[in-house]
Chains A and B, each alone.
Chain A
């Protein structure tokens, strides 16, 4: 059996303040592909991690525009092309009577786009994660905090990364296999 690939290095921290300081120290050491794990959201964490803005709004906009176009086309094609029936003396296609459909489909596909975009960008659903094999990580949903440095970080070196995590105040430092 081939030797499995190293996914990254991980360490445990005891509280949100340590976690934030740890991330600052590791980013200070030049690592970029890092991730922080916490049982609850920590305000300001996204700034410490240097995360850029989310791309989900663009997907939402795209979904909304698709819904708007689809709604308009649906109203026009069904009402005026495929099955033209005059109802109540109204035009076969009119903006006025189409607005509710255009609006609802805009909202619907925006919502689908938002949900799907969030899932895809987060890599969800994800039934297995390399950190699942790291025993202390079970407490990430309870009272422990973790930082990982992934092996595709350009600066990654198994020993140096572990040393950096330890220097940043981490305990239970370990290498995790992919």
Chain B
């Protein structure tokens, strides 16, 4: 039943809780980034840039996943997600910090990361020459800045008007955000896909796959829903929004995360499948490297950990509705998203599987910055869109 549920929670996070989360994030950032920079003394520059790129990409795509959740909410006029939409907006608001971390490394590290920036290599290589109209340092830099600028503008736009509605409850803001959603999604889809091509796929500039950007997007969606769910679970566990986010909202986060696990598998397998069937050396080379010298084990870990395990564990409705099971699988999916990106990028640096503690340092450090950024923005405004006209429907959400 429950046609009468009203919004009774505090719309703002307890400042103590914000400060606790923020300090934890800052501590992780200091330890992680400190270790990463100190590590430059012993580890190679290339290792530093690669580790940084993979970790940065992990958290950037999580923010992007949540940005997409916001856009989907508006384009479909969704009601159920109103109770958790501000959380997704807050996660997407970490994008400027991700840009601060990623841009310097992409620019300073460009020469160490991307083979196609080496003029002498390009001069000897007909394929790289023919690609140089797209893969050149100037155009790459412009695109990189454009991607981040675009995402930050979209993320800020949607958070800004959502927060403005907190003050007035004016439905015009809902219509304004809805009006811009289709165009934003179009721009989002192209930019995310090309960012995947540019930042990760072009590490091996001879190889190409049109599906590549979609796989990056799909991984970000899985982790986006995972992060959104964990954020909500953490808040309700600490008494924030405990009458606002109900078991149906968590159930839907789990369902959608699970759905995107299958979507990720579908796209990842499609890419592999076509290359396997075509069996052309220029395409199979990418997988050949990733099926030898220890990388095959990481590949199997990705298949089992990013597909088989979450598929079977969360298949049943009871498990999706169990907060423990969902939280565990969600945390695991974020880790697997990292491993997936690692598996795409790292074989270009190491011929054989070669873990480095720099990987851990960058993951912890950038994850810490991400957490601190989300916490900081969570404390700034209400933690729920408490005057959204659709919140009432979301509070009464029940979907047998």
Contacts and interface: CB of A to CB of B under 8 A. Distances in A.
A123 interface: no
Contact of B279 (A48, A53, A89): A89
Contact of B273 (A48, A61, A96): A96
B277 A57 contact: no
B46 interface: no
Interface in B308-341: 315-317
Contacts of A47: 1
B172 to A, nearest CB: 30
A99 B400 contact: no
A153 interface: no
Nearest to B318: A53
Contacts of A90: 277
Contacts of B398: 43-44
A172 interface: no
Contacts of A69: none
Interface string A88-113: 11100000110110000000000000
Contact of B269 (A46, A48, A99): A99
| Of A46, A89, A96, most B-chain CB atoms within 10 Å | A96
Given A44-B2, A44-B398, A99-B269, A57 B276 contact: no
Contacts of A44: 1-2, 398
Which range contains the number of B residues in contact with the other chain?
10 to 19
Nearest to A61: B315
Contact of A96 (B1, B276, B317): B276
Contacts of A43: 1-3, 398, 400
Interface of B is mostly: loop
Contacts of A53: 317
Contact of A46 (B273, B276, B315, B400): B400
A44 B3 CA distance: 10
A20 B2 CA distance: 13
Contacts of A61: 315
A11 to B, nearest CB: 22
A15 B247 CA distance: 29
Contact of B277 (A20, A48, A97): A97
Contacts of A99: 269, 273
Contacts of B1: 20, 43-44, 47-48
Interface string B356-400: 000000000000000000000000000000000000000000101
A44 B273 CA distance: 46
A44 B1 CA distance: 4
Contacts of A88: 277, 279
Interface in A73-99: 88-90, 96-97, 99
Nearest to A42: B1
Interface string B108-151: 00000000000000000000000000000000000000000000
Nearest to B396: A43
Nearest to B315: A61
Contacts of B2: 43-44
B248 to A, nearest CB: 11
Interface in A144-172: none
B316 A57 contact: yes
A53 to B, nearest CB: 8
Interface in B1-48: 1-3
Contacts of B272: 96
Interface of A: 20, 43-44, 46-48, 53, 57, 61, 88-90, 96-97, 99-100
27 contacts: A20-B1, A43-B1, A43-B2, A43-B3, A43-B398, A43-B400, A44-B1, A44-B2, A44-B398, A47-B1, A53-B317, A57-B316, A57-B317, A61-B315, A88-B277, A88-B279, A89-B279, A90-B277, A96-B272, A96-B273, A96-B277, A97-B273, A97-B276, A97-B277, A99-B269, A99-B273, A100-B273
The 6 closest A-B pairs by CB, nearest first: A44-B1, A96-B276, A43-B398, A46-B400, A96-B273, A99-B269
Interface of B: 1-3, 269, 272-273, 276-277, 279, 315-317, 398, 400
